[in-house]
Structure 1
Amino acid sequence: MTVFLIIVVVALIGISFWQMSKILSLSQLSGADNSQVANDKDNNLHGKLMLAFVIFMYLLTIYCFVQYHTFFLPESASEHGVDYDRLMVISMVLIFVVQFITQGLLHFFAYKYRGKKENKALFFADNDKLEFIWTIIPVIVLAGLIIYGLFTWTDIMNIDEQEGDPIIVELYAYQFDWRARYSGEDKELGKANVRFIEGVNTLGLDVSDSYAMDDKVVNELHLPVNRKIIFKLRSQDVLHSAYMPFFRAQMNVVPGMITEFAYTPTLTSEEMRNSEFMVEKVSTINNIRREKSKALTANGDEALENYEFDYYLLCNKICGASHYNMQMKIVVESQEDYDAWLAEQKTFKEQISAQASN
């Protein structure tokens, strides 16, 4: 009912303005120019406005790049991310150069050749040479960009499970959290099905499969630096998306099927945390938090904690009410630290035995 009343009020206000405009038009002097055809004065004004608008747009673009450059991601923390970023930079440079030239010429010509009564427009009814030029140049540029993109995409998505002694990790998504599963001594993940989910068996591992018994299920993702990781992605319920922006990685997690993605981490969590970009960004965030904490403490609330950078696995699909909170910490560390951490984790067999004894 409230929404209906708001719509009615908005409609009545619109009708009132419309009636007022009619009254104003009727109250104009009889000698006023009521013609709907633009005159020289109108064309002159609009030409200047077009020129002013493009100058304002360029100044705003420059300001945004200077003011908000810290919102960009830092250097990639994965091997393939370098190629990904290069492709992105080439695409954006091409777009901005073409946009800068064409948009500038469009607005400049709108000003320079604004309509005047004594002028007659010069136009070409047909010009094969011009049409060939403005057709072939975009074709060549786009073809080169697409071919380069296809080669880059193929290199990124070509997953060879035999190359470089990779680690295979399952990422399991459900509303609203993540779990990771590592293979044990046999270096092979056991079979799983959502129908087997019960008790500590939160990922639905097949207890009749010997390969599953030494698998390790964790709620924090640890990765060794400079070693290839192959991710097998599985969803329990709805469509999710595994998003790891600092590694330039994203893959949909689809119910009923296994999707996969692979990358090689090149920067540990500690190295990224101590990088110049991240130190400046964390300092900025903590300054903002300290300012907000002053108001909170003045009202008797707790102050905000200091922020410390960590890699995170996020969900990039709106998968429900708590989608925003669906994340898992990623720790990239040395091979020695990774091996020590993995050795401390309980196997699926140990978890089942503990459940049985309880």
Structure 2
Amino acid sequence: MTVFLIIIVIALFAVTVWQMSKIFDLSRDTTHTDSSQIANEKDNKVNGYLMLMFVVFLYVISIYCFWHYSKFYLPEASSEHGSEVDNLMFISIALIMFVQVLTQGLLHWFAYKYRGEKGKKALFFADNDKLEFIWTIIPVIVLAGLIIYGLFTWSDIMNINEEDDPLVIEIYAYQFDWRARYSGEDNTLGKANVRFIQGVNQLGVDESDSYGNDDVIINELHLPVGRPVLFKFRSQDVLHSAFFPHFRAQMNVVPGMITQFGFTPTITSEDIRASEYMVEKVARINEIRKEKSKELMAAGEVPLDSYEFDYYLLCNKICGQGHYNMQMKIVVESEEDYNAWMKEQQTFGETMAAQKETKEDVPVELEEAPMETEEVAVVEKKNN
């Protein structure tokens, strides 16, 4: 309500100033002034200079933004195909900026150079085939080349060579978390369906499918460096989007269907933490957290922990209230460390067997023991 009242006051103040300016105009001596609504040479000259000043300001602010905010760029891509994506992105930006600088410069320079002057008459011609050919065929050639280059790049990324023996991992999305299901020693995922979700079987893996017995379900994604990985995505509820920013990968996770994407990690978590870019970034973040911790401690609250970089899988679709916190840690490590970690994990078959043993250990009389007549009467009395 306070904000609404402030907006009303500002609007009324603006109207008052406008009305006062009209009164001031009406009270001026117009004998020696030009009160015409038609722009004169002085007006045209002022607007011409303003156009030049604006384009200079536009160039200066653009250069400043590219320089100052370059520290927020993502670091070097951590996947094989990431460099191709970055190249495509930078080529697109370079073409856009070239056209923008050229066209905006000409637009504002012409507005100044050909401003209205007394005795100057504009040259008019209905059409010019040469000019129309130039500004039509050049964009067509450039855009066609960019699109073809993009299609070839996309085709190389999406066509995964099965002969490379990629590691098959299912990424399962649900509000508001991720689960990873590794394909086990046979590198083949077992069948799954949301209808099979029950108890510890949170991903709905089909128990009757032998391929699923050696699957490993975990909430932290570990990837071996240098090995191709094929991700198969599945959603339990709504549309999600699996976003791997540092690996330049993203794929929609659609309910009722399986989508897939693959890449080869090239930089381990330890190596990227030691990179110059990440060391500087982590230092800046910890400096900010340190200052914030002082404020928290002064208010009697718990200070913030020191920040350490980790890869993360994020959701890039607004999928509900918990969307902002839908993330899963990714650890890229050596093949030896990955194999050692995998040996420590429990397979789906072992998990289901442990659940059955737990059920069998519960005495039948405790599960289905009938209540005595007096107990039934007491329960009914409480319910009523």
TMscore range, shorter length: over 0.9
SS in 1 for 2:163: coil
**Structure 1: gaps of 5 or more residues:** none
Aligned to 1:310: 310
Q: Does 1:186 align with 2:192?
A: no
In the aligned structure 2, how far is the partner of 1:144 from the partner of 1:101? 20
Which amino acid in structure 2 is aligned with residue 145 of structure 1? Answer: L
Question: Across the two proteins, how many residue pairs are aligned to each other?
Answer: 357
Aligned to 1:89: 90
Once the two structures are overlaid, the 10-residue window that deviates more, 33-42 or 273-282, is 33-42
Q: Does 1:80 align with 2:81?
A: yes
SS in 1 for 2:164: coil
Aligned to 2:145: 144
Aligned to 1:114: 115
Q: Following TM superposition, by how much is the alpha carbon of 1:16 offset from its aligned partner in structure 2, in angstroms? A: 5.2
Q: CA RMSD in A?
A: 2.0
Report the TM-score, using the length of structure 1 for normalisation.
Answer: 0.94
Q: Does 1:254 align with 2:254?
A: yes
Q: Does 1:51 align with 2:55?
A: no
SS in 1 for 2:232: strand
Q: Following TM superposition, by how much is the alpha carbon of 1:127 offset from its aligned partner in structure 2, in angstroms? A: 1.6
Counterpart mapping for 1:266-281 below 5 A = 266-281=266-281
Q: Following TM superposition, by how much is the alpha carbon of 1:120 offset from its aligned partner in structure 2, in angstroms? A: 1.3
Once the two structures are overlaid, the 10-residue window that deviates more, 141-150 or 225-234, is 141-150
Aligned to 1:229: 229
For residues 11-52 of structure 1, the C-alpha deviation after alignment (integer angstroms, 9 at most, x for no partner) is 766765665555444434344533221111111111111111
Indicate the structure (1 or 2) with the bigger Cα radius of gyration: 2
In the aligned structure 1, how far is the partner of 2:74 from the partner of 2:329? 18
Which amino acid in structure 1 is aligned with residue 73 of structure 2? Answer: F
In the aligned structure 2, how far is the partner of 1:354 from the partner of 1:3? 59
Q: Does 1:213 align with 2:217?
A: no
Which amino acid in structure 2 is aligned with residue 331 of structure 1? Answer: V
Aligned to 2:37: 36
Aligned to 1:132: 133
In the aligned structure 2, how far is the partner of 1:242 from the partner of 1:16? 53
In the aligned structure 2, how far is the partner of 1:80 from the partner of 1:43? 53
Once the two structures are overlaid, the 10-residue window that deviates more, 304-313 or 117-126, is 117-126
Aligned to 1:341: 341
Q: Following TM superposition, by how much is the alpha carbon of 1:315 offset from its aligned partner in structure 2, in angstroms? A: 0.1
Once the two structures are overlaid, the 10-residue window that deviates more, 168-177 or 58-67, is 58-67
In the aligned structure 1, how far is the partner of 2:352 from the partner of 2:27? 88
In the aligned structure 2, how far is the partner of 1:286 from the partner of 1:2? 37
Q: Following TM superposition, by how much is the alpha carbon of 1:215 offset from its aligned partner in structure 2, in angstroms? A: 0.9
In the aligned structure 2, how far is the partner of 1:72 from the partner of 1:163? 35
For residues 90-136 of structure 1, the C-alpha deviation after alignment (integer angstroms, 9 at most, x for no partner) is 11111111211111111112112211122112343322112212222
In the aligned structure 1, how far is the partner of 2:305 from the partner of 2:349? 39
For residues 148-200 of structure 1, the C-alpha deviation after alignment (integer angstroms, 9 at most, x for no partner) is 1111111111133x221110000000000000000122221111111111111
In the aligned structure 1, how far is the partner of 2:304 from the partner of 2:4? 41
Q: Following TM superposition, by how much is the alpha carbon of 1:308 offset from its aligned partner in structure 2, in angstroms? A: 0.6
What percent identity do the matched residue pairs reach? Answer: 69
In the aligned structure 2, how far is the partner of 1:77 from the partner of 1:51? 44
